[in-house]
Copies of this chain bind each other. A is one copy, B any other.
Amino acid sequence: MAIHIPFSAQTYIDRRNTLISNMSGGQVLLIANDESSINFADNLNPYRQDSTLLYYGALSIPDIAILIDADEGTSKLFADDVSMDMVVWTGPQESIKNLAAKIGITDVYPYADLKNHLRSQVHHLPPYRASQELRLRALLDKDQSSHSVELIKAVNSQRSIKTDEEISEIQKAVTLSKAMHAEVIKHIRPDIYEYELVAIASKFAHDHNVRWSFPPILTKNGQTLHNHYHGHKIEAGDIVLVDGGIEVASGYCGDITRTSAASGTFTAEQQEIYDLVHLMYKEAVRESKAGKRYLDVHLHTAKVLVEGLKDIGLMKGDTESAVKEGAHAMFFPHGLGHVMGLDVHDMENFGEQYIGYSETLQKSTQFGLKSLRLGKELETGNVITIEPGIYFIPELIEKFESQGKFKEFINYEMLNKKRNLGGIRIEDDFLVTENGVEMLGGDSPMP
C-alpha cells in the first residue's frame, strides 16, 4: 500500500526547524494515533493519523513516533518495518528508511527504543484518544499525562497560518466538498429517506477515493445541531440541512453546509428565514478580514439576526441589549465559525482557549457565545468557516418561556406558532486576507 506524502522532504524539514526555533528547549514527542477498534481488537475503523504528526511528518502509519529535539535541533523517527508474518496479511510495504527519507529524517530507530531516547523535558500535546493517554503514561512513567502549553502555542502559531501548498490542498478538499453537496442536493425530493441521501454522499466520497472529513449531519431536523440520526422520510414541505465535507489524501478538510427545500421551493415562512440566514452570511463575509476580532463579526451577525427577526415580529426591544443579554442565542445557539485545516475544527483538541482565544480575550460562558470556537483577531493565512444559522428548537422555546427568559426580546406567541419551522444554516470556507476573505473551493450555487 502506497503511503501518501503530499509535500517535499524540505517542507517537513522546514516545519520542524521552525518548531525547534519556537521552543525554548526540550524534546517534542509526536506519537502516532493507534488503530481504533470497533467491537473487537482486529475490527478497525478506517485509520486516521494524528494531524500534528501529519503536519510535521506526513506518515499515515500507526505505532510510530517522531521525536523532535529542540535542544539538539534534530529529528528521529521511531518505527518498525512490517514483518514477513504480517506481509501475508497486509502485503509488501515500503521500507521505513525510504519513507523517513521522504520526510527528511535519517535517524530511524525501532519503536521499542523510543523510551530510551526520552530525556526529562518531554513536550507533548493533549491526548484526545484513550490510547494516546495510555502510551504517554507508559513512555513517561506517569499516572496521568500533562501536556505542554508551550508546545500548543508553538504548533498553533504554525498550523494556524496556512502556506500556499496547504491552501492548494484545502482548495481541493473544499471543491470536492461542494461537489458532494451538489450531488446530494440533486437527489433531495419528497419520499426519499435521509439515509438514502447519506448513501449518495458516501458513494461520492468513495468514488473519488477520499473520505468524509466528519460523518455528515443530514437531516430534516436541522434544529438539532449535531444530528446523526438518518432514519426519517423526507416529506414535501420539509427543510433538509446537510453539513458535510471531504478530507483529501493529504488530510486537509472541507466543511460546507447547505439547506434545501424538499420540494424545491421554500414556503413563504421558510423563505423569510432562509433569506435572513443568507443576509447574516453575507454580512459576516463582508465584515471578516485580518485584524478583525471574529467575536465582533459573530456579534455583528447576531445583530443582523435580531433586526431581521424584529422585522418578522419574532423579536422585539433594543437590538444591542438583546445581543448583549444573549437573547439571539435562542435562534442561533452556536458560533459563527471556526478555524479549519488538517482538522475540520482545526487543533480543537489543543483547547479552544488557546486556538480561538487569547490571553486578553477569554471565552464567554453565556449560552450561545460559549459555543463560539473562534473569538480572537483573524490573521492573514487563517482558514475559517462562516456558518450562521437560525433554528426553532421546541424544547428550548418551552424551557425559556416557562422560565420567563428573554420575554422583553422574544415574541413567544408568534414563536410558538412557528416552533416547528426547523433549522437553516449556510456554511462556506474562507481564506483570511489583509483586506477580507476569499471563498475557497470556487463559487457554488446556493439552493
Contact = CB atoms under 8 A, between A and B. Distances in A.
A39 B41 CA distance: 19
A50 interface: yes
A134 B206 CA distance: 34
A444 to B, nearest CB: 22
Given A199-B207, A207-B195, A231-B2, A88 B396 contact: yes
A125 B204 CA distance: 39
Nearest to A44: B215
Interface stretch (A73-81, A218-226, A408-416): A218-226
Interface in A84-128: 84, 87-92, 128
A318 B229 CA distance: 59
Interface stretch (A271-279, A302-310, A341-349, A435-443): A341-349
A416 to B, nearest CB: 17
A165 B395 CA distance: 38
B202 A230 contact: no
B43 A345 contact: yes
A45 to B, nearest CB: 5
B196 A206 contact: yes
B90 A42 contact: no
A343 B129 contact: no
A219 to B, nearest CB: 9
A146 to B, nearest CB: 16
Contacts of A344: 43
Contact of A37 (B128, B195, B204): B128
B224 A89 contact: yes
A238 B34 CA distance: 33
A209 to B, nearest CB: 4
A215 B46 contact: yes
A36 interface: yes
A268 interface: no
A366 to B, nearest CB: 13
A38 B38 CA distance: 12
Contacts of A7: none
Nearest to A224: B91
A95 to B, nearest CB: 13
Nearest to A329: B88
Contacts of A229: 1-2, 91
Contacts of A230: 206, 209
A40 to B, nearest CB: 4
A23 B200 CA distance: 48
A446 interface: no
Given A134-B130, A393-B88, A209 B193 contact: yes
A196 B209 CA distance: 8
Given A84-B395, A130-B131, A227 B42 contact: no
A235 interface: no
A205 B230 CA distance: 13
Contacts of A405: none
Nearest to A193: B209
A215 B42 CA distance: 11
Interface of A: 1-2, 33-34, 36-46, 48-51, 84, 87-92, 128-131, 133-134, 193, 195-196, 198-200, 202-207, 209, 214-215, 221, 224-231, 333, 342-345, 347-349, 393, 395-396, 399
21 contacts: A2-B231, A37-B128, A39-B48, A40-B348, A41-B349, A42-B345, A43-B344, A45-B45, A84-B399, A87-B393, A87-B396, A88-B393, A89-B226, A90-B224, A90-B226, A92-B395, A129-B131, A131-B131, A195-B207, A196-B207, A209-B230
Which 4 A/B pairs are nearest by Cβ-Cβ distance? A199-B206, A91-B224, A130-B131, A130-B130
